[in-house]
Each structure stands twice: as structure tokens, then as C-alpha cells.
Amino acid sequence: MRYLLTHLDDAWALTLIHLRLSLIPVVIGLAIAVPLGALVQRATVLRRLTTVTASIVFTIPSLALFVVLPLIIPTRILDEANVIIALTLYTAALLVRAVPEALDAVPAPVRDAATAVGYRPFTRVLKVELPLSIPVLVAGLRVVAVTNISMVAVGSVIGIGGLGTWFTEGYQANKSDQIVAGILAIFVLAIVIDTLIMLAGRWLTPWIRAGGSARGTALVQGEA
Amino acid sequence: MNFLQQALSYIFSADNWGGTAGLAARIGEHLQYTVVAVVVSALIAIPIGLIVGHTGRGTFVVVTGVNALRALPTLGVLLLGVLLWGLGLVPPTVALMLLGIPPLLAGTYAGIANVDRAVVDAARSMGMTEARVLLRVEVPNALPLILGGLRTATLQVVATATVAAYASLGGLGRYLIDGIKVRQFHIALVGALMVTALALVLDAVLAAAVWASAPGSGRLRRMPQPLLDDEVIIDAGAATRMRRTCAPGRQRGDPSLTVDR
């Protein structure tokens, strides 16, 4: 605890690196997964292919991927780019499976209603179906953001920066105080990011807060 | 591709497999850390998940606890554990439990809580005690999600057991971490490839278990579902509710299918 308070400047600098390494992948991964997931939703074969590929990518241990990536793409080993690319792959792999399922969950009457009032398929996906799948996306984003923050810390054993360096330094110098400070800092960071994503999700889905989902359900049942 | 050739020739020469620091022994250690951590996680997470899922009480605690556990960094807990308790099996087990408990708890809870209420009510109205309702009706129906949680937990633990090597313990991480330390990157690559292979094999075995556990004949039509869905389900209650109410063919007011047919 004392270590954290006396090293606030270091903590801030390391936090910035940590955030850069763990959250840039979340943004890029989301930007890849949403269009891809929406595109393959209706194409059965492509969708199965995407799902299987994503599962295999997700199975590769991230620490291993940090080391293997420089062989596949022209980056140097122990480069920050490896971490960002590896974590982007994980984020995209997790979300690309969630997107089609979230779109499947949009009630058929809602989809029909949107078509009936004149939405074309593209605008309907963009303006009706994707907003309705925000809760699933937010749930996936929360898991992936917190996991990435933890993964970047693990990366410090192979020399990647961020708050994880306090673990390796503290361990080598036999200073448990420094390790505790690192645990605290990462824990707080993860909780803050998790809460921010959750709040953003609520802000983007005002109809759920207003009890709209219950009304929507009643409507669907009434029609059917 | 030079590193890759070196790494593959290292893996495929028999000399490197024997002995106390050979590949076979390292795989054994790696599996030992994984199995111990997953078993202890299951012993803690599954009973809690069963109780919370069955009673519906403490859902908030489970969701918060899962998020909090996941936010704790594995590496920090491992290294702190080594400084406090010394080397041994305790620090890696405790650290890896942080990864093992969340998916198991989320999977068990979501599995039990999502069992069709009509089925549970039917069991209760036939005079089953609460314990029997839980063990004979809810658990079999929830088994795919529980095993799905086990699959995610195992995968995360086996991938991260690599860090045990940093705390002077064994496992396949030895190759990864020693290789980087002495700048012999092909050795690091051996570790990375072996961990990946181990993870893929374990995942395939558990995926088959999940598939086989699906009740009824529906499994023949379904492929094993991907990972982490259980955790997404637990948070995205809105979406699952939406999906359930819109299940095609049957509405809540309809007469029971078993009576009709």
C-alpha cells in the first residue's frame, strides 16, 4: 500500500502503457467483429467457418501467441505490436461469435415490423438489430477488456511493459509491498474499465432502463 | 522460419523427451498444475453455483464476485504467494484458481437458472424433494453449460499455467521463459508450440464431453457451442430472456406438449 502511494507517478505512467496495450485491441477487435459477424449471420457455411476459426484462435494461449507472432508477421520479438495484434485476435474471436447470436435473438416480429415500415436490410441491421444486440456485445466486451488487462500483466514475464513490471521487479527484489501495489493497481484499473463499459452499455440502451424490454416481450407474446 | 525449424527439430528428437527436465516430465508437471487448480476451483465453484442457481438468491454476489476474481491479476497473486508461502504447489494453485472459478461459477449458475421452469415445476409437483429436483432434474439439464464452464476454466488454466515457471516452478513455461531469458528464441517457441498443442487437445476432449452431455437427441443436430457463452449469458440476461420468449412453436399459454402428443 505504501509503495503505491509513494510511486504514484510511476503508477500513472505504467497505467497508461497498460491501458494502451489492453484497450486498443478491444477497439480494433470490436471494429472487426461487428461487421464480420453481421455479414456472416445469414450465410450458414461462412458462419460455421468463422465460428470454428474463432474457437481455434481463442484456444491458442496468449503468452504463446506473443512469442509465435513474430514468426508469422514481420515484427520483432518482444515488440509491443505483437501484444496488440495478439489481443486484437482474441477480442475479435470472442465477439465475432457473439454478434450473430445476438442478431439471431432479435425477435422476428421486431424484424418484420422494421421491414414493414420501410427499412432496407442494411439499415435495418444497422439501426434496429445491432442496437438490440448491445446487451450481448457489452457483456462480451466486459469479459474481454478485463481479461486483456490481466493478460498484459502476464506478458511482463516475457518483458512486456505495463503494471505487470511491478510484479517481476518486486519478485526479483523480494519486495512483496511492490507486488501488492501492482495487484491493487490492476484490480482497480480492471474494475474501473469494467464499470465504464457497463455504464456505456446502459447509456446506449435507454429502453432497457425504462422497462421497455418487459413491454416488448409482452407485445411479442400478444402478437403470437 | 529458421526458429520454427529449430523448434520442430527440438521437439522431434527423442533426446529432449526423457529425463527430469525433458518434454514428457514438463508436460506432466503442466498437467498436474492444471488438474489440481481446476479440481479445487470446481470444488469451490460448482456447489456455490448450484445453490445460487437453485434458490435464485445471491445472484448479484455471484456476478460481482466473478467480475472481481477475474480482475485480480494471476501473475501478481502467484508471485506474492511464492514470497509469502515459499515454493510449492500452493501458490500456482491459488493463482490459477482465479482463472478457474469464474467460468465454472458462471456456467453452473447460468445452467441451473436457465432450466425451463415448467420442467422444474413438474418435478416438484410429482413430489420430488428440493435436493432431488436439483440433482435429478436441474443438474442433468444444466450439464452442457456446467461442462462448458469446465472447458473454459481448463483452457484458461492450461494456458496460464505457463507463468508458474517464472516463480522457479516447472511446467512447459520453463521453455518459454528460459528461452527468452537466454535469448534462445527457438526454445521459447518449443514452449509456445507445446502449450498450444496441449490446449487444443484438452479443448477437443472437453468439447466432446459437452456435446455428449446434451440431454435428449437434440445433440445430433448441434455442434459443440463455442467458449465463454456461459459468461456472456450470465451478464446479458435481457438477450437470453428475449430469445427464450421467442422460442418458435410454443408459447407459455399453450397446453403442455407432453399432454398433446
Chain B residues whose CB is inside 8 A of the A158 CB are 176-177, 180, 188
Indicate yes or no: CB of A64 within 8 angstroms of CB of B242: no
A156-170, B28-42, B138-152: least confidently modelled range: A156-170
Q: Give the minimum alpha-carbon distance from B134 to chain A in angstroms, rounded to a whole number.
A: 28
A61 touches chain B (CB under 8 A): yes
Cβ atoms B97, B40 nearer than 8 A = yes
User: Long-range contacts of range B15-21, CB-CB < 8 Å, 24 or more positions apart?
Assistant: B21/B174
A110 touches chain B (CB under 8 A): no
Report residue B233 as a C-alpha cell: 449469458
pLDDT of residue A1: 66
pLDDT of residue B229: 47
Question: Shortest CB distance from B199 goes to which of A59, A67, A139?
Answer: A59
Higher-pLDDT residue of B54 and B247 is B54
Residue A16 has pLDDT above 50, yes or no: yes
A142 touches chain B (CB under 8 A): yes
Over residues B23-49, mean pLDDT: 93
Residue pLDDT, tens place only, A184-197: 999 999 999 999 99
B69 touches chain A (CB under 8 A): no
Question: Shortest CB distance from B76 goes to which of A63, A77, A183?
Answer: A183
Cβ atoms A184, A4 nearer than 8 A = yes
Residue B222 has pLDDT above 80, yes or no: no
- pTM assigned to the model: 0.78
Higher-pLDDT residue of B230 and A50 is A50
pLDDT of residue B254: 39
Residue pLDDT, tens place only, A155-171: 888 778 888 888 888 88
pLDDT of residue A211: 57
Question: Shortest CB distance from A61 goes to which of B196, B243, B246?
Answer: B196
Question: Shortest CB distance from B75 goes to which of A146, A154, A221?
Answer: A154
Residue pLDDT, tens place only, A142-152: 888 988 898 88
Question: Taking CA atoms, what residue in B is nearest to A52?
Answer: B226
A183 touches chain B (CB under 8 A): yes
Distances, alpha carbon B211 to alpha carbons B109, B138, B146, B150, B250, in Å: 19, 18, 12, 13, 25
Between CA B3 and CA B184 the distance in angstroms is 9
pLDDT of residue B216: 64
pLDDT of residue B255: 40
Residue B258 has pLDDT above 50, yes or no: no
Between CA A216 and CA B237 the distance in angstroms is 15
Question: Taking CA atoms, what residue in B is nearest to A220?
Answer: B246
Report residue B177 as a C-alpha cell: 521463459
Residue pLDDT, tens place only, B170-211: 888 888 888 878 878 888 888 888 888 998 899 889 888 888
Residue pLDDT, tens place only, A116-139: 999 998 888 888 888 888 888 888
List, as ranges, residues 203-222 from B with C-beta within 8 Å of A: 203
Its ipTM equals 0.79
Mean pLDDT over all residues of chain B? 79
- Closest to A86 (Cα-Cα) out of A34, A29, A39, A20: A29
pLDDT of residue B226: 43
Which H, E and C letters describe chain A, residue by residue?
CHHHHHCHHHHHHHHHHHHHHHHHHHHHHHHHHHHHHHHHCCCHHHHHHHHHHHHHHHHCCHHHHHHHHHHHCCCCCCCHHHHHHHHHHHHHHHHHHHHHHHHHCCCHHHHHHHHHCCCCHHHHHHHHHHHHCHHHHHHHHHHHHHHHHHHHHHHHHHCCCCCCHHHHHHHHCCCHHHHHHHHHHHHHHHHHHHHHHHHHHHHHCHHHHCCHHHHHHHHHHHHC
Question: Shortest CB distance from A147 goes to which of B70, B238, B251?
Answer: B70
Indicate yes or no: CB of A63 within 8 angstroms of CB of B176: yes
Mean pLDDT over all residues of chain A? 83
B105 touches chain A (CB under 8 A): no
pLDDT of residue A196: 94
Percent of chain B surpassing pLDDT 70: 82
Report residue B36 as a C-alpha cell: 489440481
